[in-house]
Chain A
Amino acid sequence: MNAVFAVANKEFHDGLRNRWVLSICIIFAVLAIGLAYFGAAAAGKVGFTSLSSTIVSLASLAVFIIPLIALMLAYDGIVGEDENGTLLLLMTYPLSRWQLLLGKMLGQGLVMAFSTVIGFGSSAIMVGLFSDTTSWSELIAPYTVFILSAVLLGWIFIAIAYVISTSVSEKSKAAGIALIIWFLFVLVFDLGLLGLLVGTQGNVDETLFPYLLLLNPTDIFRLVNITYFAEQNLTGLLAIAQQTQFSLLSLFAGLLVWLLLPVTLALTIFNRRGL
């Protein structure tokens, strides 16, 4: 286990050194605080808006940016070491492949978790301190759910990035594939589902449809945060899912499955990778 921690420790310190941690913290904090304060600007108001609309709009923004950051952070994790020549060297050390891969994922997972907690947490503190309408006790649960699901979403895309990184032999190729994966999960999937609805003129099995959303971790993430504020008036795809209420627990379980899947896949692919 020591080897896993040695690798994780290095990755985390790399994250600090490369200013990844700092940049992600700032992006998340600005996003979260900005939305909390200016979220109602479109309605002609400035000031802290309701907690539910803050979190829901935060979730719909985070769903774009978290996967992007995670993919950028981790896409070159293995292929980059390979290009450097250090992968070959590391494999001559008393270190097995799974230890290296898990160590790297753990280290970068910590970078993601740390930045998410600090970035979004700071917004929670700002709201708690300065908002007249929201009390601390109302605040803690929704922000905890949001931050937890955001961390999981980040981890899922780090693991997906490693599936890419272990499968290709060039860094630039990994970057290209990462971009496509992001595009597919974040944009194309939902458009496809909408297309399906429109194309069949709504004639899709209503019980089946919400389950299709579970095929995309970004949709599960959105569902988690919306389910928590079920009283919200939803529009779009997620309104359909609302009819079939998934419990918060089952949605989190869904995210965990989505985490385990790419982790296992990356390990399998990495074990077969030639040197």
Chain B
Amino acid sequence: MSNTTIVELQQAEKKYQGVTAVHQLNLELRQGEVLGLFGHNGAGKTTTIKLILGLIGATSGQVRVFGQDPTHSDARNLRSKLGFLQENVSFYDQLTGLEVLQYFARLKGVAKKNCPDLLQQVGLSDAAKRRVKTYSKGMRQRLGLAQALLGDPKLLLLDEPTVGLDPIATQDFYGRIDTLKQRGCTVILCSHVLPGVEKYIDRALIMGHGKLLAEGSINDLRHQANLPATFHLQGSNLALPETLAAQVHKDQIGTHLKVPLQDKMKTLQQLVNLPGLENMDIHLPSLEDLYTHFIDTHNGLEAAL
């Protein structure tokens, strides 16, 4: 990760006919960073992406991409360094996958000969000569990804990139994000589907109602949220030490023990030699838990006000 700032938002705010879609958002992204942008529908993710893409101008505040105002007409040439995949794009049904990609390549000033290679990278070689009309949702998504990767972009904005991808294709996709990151590409992943994404992002940004609810690495967020680690214990006649007994909850599956994150190692040592213990799983708060936590906290605050 280098120190070059690629994206910078300062107090950026966007209002649509009196409704504020994004409230005074601050964001700084450095080269090679992978940011996860999470939130419900209508949380302001898409508006944030549109601000960065320069598709809309901020009502107030400042947006800088590659050091320039993206809505400015001079910034148009910067767009060849930019890749974007939006949600639910359907492309041109009557064209073949290859033709679609070639059209976009020409608009981006990328040589046509790169297209078959890109299609191969996203696993669409066999379908290159077929009309997009016959493509499944996952195939369209992969074509969209190929399109976003045209011309070796320096900044990638991907809105719900894994929707419609099967688990293997999803893994593949995240692997590709990693490769791009190594090459110095900055990536913004925008999603409400979270499982599996943790490992691949440097930082997460959770949004709700146009506001920033939480920001930081997964570890930072875990500490901010202060959610417990959960131990799932299986065995017969478990006699837990008294210090832990208060935090125990039992059901048919087994015994569940919740302890603060910082006590994780201590508890683990206490449990390892517990007589009768047959199996133990440790569950750390996942991104999904954190997400739910931050959204709920926010909603709770709103309700209290």
Contacts and interface: CB of A to CB of B under 8 A. Distances in A.
A94 B89 contact: no
A89 interface: yes
Contacts of A275: 50, 55-56
Contact of A94 (B92, B94, B95, B108): B108
A17 interface: yes
Interface stretch (B25-33, B77-85, B173-181): B77-85
Contacts of A92: 53, 55, 79, 82, 84
A90 B80 CA distance: 12
A3 B107 contact: yes
B196 interface: no
Interface string B78-103: 01101010111111101100000001
Given A92-B55, A274-B56, A10 B103 contact: yes
Contacts of A7: 107
B89 A85 contact: yes
Nearest to B108: A93
Contacts of B73: 96
Interface in B146-183: 147
A6 interface: yes
B80 A85 contact: no
A14 B77 CA distance: 27
A6 B77 CA distance: 17
Majority secondary structure of chain A interface residues (helix, strand, loop or mixed): helix
Q: Interface size for chain A: under 10, 10 to 19, 20 to 34, or 35 or more residues?
A: 20 to 34
A191 interface: no
Contacts of B88: 85
A180 interface: no
Interface in A83-116: 84-86, 88-96
Contacts of A2: 106, 109
A201 interface: no
A20 to B, nearest CB: 11
Contacts of A94: 76-77, 79-80, 107-109
B76 A96 contact: yes
A6 to B, nearest CB: 4
Contacts of B103: 6, 10
A90 B147 CA distance: 11
Contacts of B135: none
Interface residues of B, number: 27
A86 B147 CA distance: 12
B107 A88 contact: no
A235 interface: no
Contacts of A17: 94-95
Nearest to B109: A94
A180 B225 CA distance: 60
Interface string A263-275: 0000000000011
A93 B86 contact: no
A90 B95 CA distance: 16
B109 to A, nearest CB: 7
A12 to B, nearest CB: 12
Interface in B221-257: none
Interface string B59-80: 0000000000000010011011
A275 to B, nearest CB: 5
A18 interface: yes
Interface string A1-44: 01100110010001001100000000000000000000000000
Contact of B90 (A3, A84, A93): A84
Contact of B84 (A10, A84, A89): A89
Given A92-B79, A94-B79, A6 B50 contact: no
A18 B56 contact: no
B200 interface: no
B255 to A, nearest CB: 50
Interface string B101-128: 0011011110000000000000000000
A170 to B, nearest CB: 16
A85 B90 contact: yes
Nearest to A17: B94
A245 to B, nearest CB: 48
A88 B91 CA distance: 11
Contacts of B106: 2, 6
A73 to B, nearest CB: 15
A216 B170 CA distance: 58
Contact of A86 (B53, B56, B89): B89
Contact of B79 (A18, A93, A274): A93
A2 B103 CA distance: 12
Closest 9 CB pairs of A and B: A85-B89, A92-B84, A6-B106, A94-B79, A275-B55, A93-B107, A94-B80, A92-B53, A84-B90
Given A85-B88, A86-B92, A93-B80, 16 more contacts: A2-B106, A3-B107, A6-B106, A7-B107, A10-B103, A17-B95, A84-B90, A85-B86, A85-B90, A86-B91, A89-B86, A91-B53, A92-B82, A94-B76, A95-B76, A274-B56
20 contacts: A2-B106, A7-B107, A14-B92, A17-B94, A18-B94, A85-B87, A85-B89, A86-B89, A86-B90, A89-B147, A92-B53, A93-B104, A93-B107, A94-B77, A94-B79, A94-B107, A96-B73, A96-B76, A274-B56, A275-B56
